[in-house]
């Protein structure tokens, strides 16, 4: 009986090949995790850029909504005409920069 319990208590030891395979697997998993860390950081930066872009677009939309709610005022019409169409009133002088 004593021999059986001694044999049952003995566990087969892992071979050197098994240990090497486990070590290689651990190194491969560690390498993959290291690579994913860089991807996660890049994705976080991209997320922050998009969040800033969304905030800027929201501010622009709010400004446009306020302009629409205000309705067409003479000042707003003149501003658009000056910026986009080059409106000049009779009491203004226009200077063209020809140095470029």
Tens digits of per-residue pLDDT, 23-64?
999 999 999 999 899 899 999 999 999 999 999 999 999 999
Give the per-residue pLDDT at 14.
Answer: 75
Cα–Cα distances in Å, from 32 out to 7, 36, 37, 42? Answer: 41, 6, 9, 16
Collapsing DSSP to helix, strand or coil, 88 comes out as coil
CB 78 within 8 A of CB 87: yes
Tokens of 86: 């080059």
Is the pTM for the entire model greater than 0.75?
A: no
Q: Taking the C-alpha atoms of 59, 63, 69 and 72 in order, what is their torsion angle to the nearest 10 degrees?
A: -160
Looking at the chain, list the stretches that DSSP marks H as alpha helix, in order from N- to C-terminal side. Answer: 2-9, 16-70, 74-80
């Amino acid at each position: 009986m004593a021999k059986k319990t001694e044999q049952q208590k003995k566990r087969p030891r892992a071979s050197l090949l098994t240990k090497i395979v486990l070590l290689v697997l651990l190194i491969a998993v560690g390498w993959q995790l290291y690579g994913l860390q860089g991807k996660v950081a890049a994705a976080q930066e991209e997320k922050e850029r998009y969040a800033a872009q969304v905030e800027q677009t929201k501010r622009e939309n709010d400004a446009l909504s306020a302009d629409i709610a205000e309705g067409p005022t003479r000042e707003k019409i003149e501003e658009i005409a000056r910026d986009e169409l080059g409106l000049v009133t009779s009491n203004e002088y226009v200077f063209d920069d020809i140095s470029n």
